[in-house]
Structure 1
Amino acid sequence: MSELRTEVGQLKHAVRAHATVDQAIGALAAISNIRPEQAWDVLTEVSQHTNIKLRLVAEQVVEWTCDGELAEEVRRELQRSLARQEPCAAPPS
């Protein structure tokens, strides 16, 4: 029974983490006028270059949309990665 509780807890954590990553992808795509696939690439690059877990980078990006604050290291890598992305043809109207 305790194994089942542990597994359920792990699954709940995974679902929350996935939702946070999806929110960060959407935020980056909308703010930067890039495709979701590009936003995923940006998140993974920032994670790799800062040695911060992807879930934690995503959490910071989501919080950044609310409070405007972002760790300097993450902000720097985010700017670098976004600068390499080709924007969508036309922003939504």
Structure 2
Amino acid sequence: MEWREFAEQMARLARDLLAQDSLQATLDEIAASAVRLVEGCDAAGILAVRKGRAVTLAACGSAVQECDRLQGELGEGPCFDLARHKDGERVYRIADLSRPRPAWQRFAEAARPLGIGSMTGLLLYTDNDDFGALNLYARRPGAFGKDVETAGWLLASHAAVALADARTIDQLEHAMETRHAIGEAMGILMERHGLSADEAFSVLRRISQHHNIKLRDVAQRVRTEPANPA
């Protein structure tokens, strides 16, 4: 693919990512776009590490989730190490899974039966956030050369900006939904028990703290469960 054509595709990708209607849709589109736009890429996914555990945030291709599971189970692998910021690297690559780095030997042996010949991981980050690793998989060894790595890096940079924007919108929408749920629950308690707004909120907060349940979940229970009979 010529770089001019690729640049045009990157511009379209930026618009497509910003047009997604949720954080998960943005993650899914990034993985699908990697397969579509990066030459030689047969599958792609986004992996994050949460409390030492590998979490697949998005997958395009049948081997992605199993590959992520193996890395988390073994505690090694290019994408797993990248997502947890080991060594401060931003790109990891296994050009040929039959000849991996010694540190990834167990993972490579387990991953080869999945039909993976080579793979590249690229950190998804902005100045303020790290989102995990965008992982590219190919069936044949040596699929990801320097040009392809550069193309993947450009895609990852676009993706990180879109994720930052999507997460901000998702957090705002979640906060609005939470406030709405709590407001409705307070109104129900005020009507049922003749409480003031402050008293109703104190009831919700007390239940949340006593049972170690999020305030939003307490509010949801009040909204959905019938009043206790007199």
TM over 0.5: yes
TM-score scaled by length of structure 2: 0.28
Residue 3, structure 1, aligned to residue 159, structure 2: no
Residue 190 of structure 2 corresponds to 29
Larger of the two Rg values belongs to structure:
2
Residue 56 of structure 1 corresponds to 217
* Paired residue type of 1:5: A
3-state SS in 1 of match to 2:220: helix
Unaligned runs of 5+ in 2: 1-161
Residue 12, structure 1, aligned to residue 170, structure 2: no
Q: CA RMSD for the aligned pairs? A: 1.5
Larger RCO (alpha carbons 8 Å, 6+ apart)? 1
State the shift of 1:69 in Å. 7.4
Contact 1:47 1:57 in 2 (8 A): yes
Residue 45 of structure 1 corresponds to 206
State the shift of 1:55 in Å. 0.6
Question: Which has a greater percent of strand?
Answer: 2
Distance in 2 (CA, whole Å) between partners of 1:2 and 1:52 is 28
Question: Which has a greater percent of helix?
Answer: 1
TM-score scaled by length of structure 1: 0.67
Ranges of 4+ aligned residues in structure 1 off by more than 6 Å: none
Unaligned runs of 5+ in 1: 71-93
Distance in 1 (CA, whole Å) between partners of 2:176 and 2:210 is 25
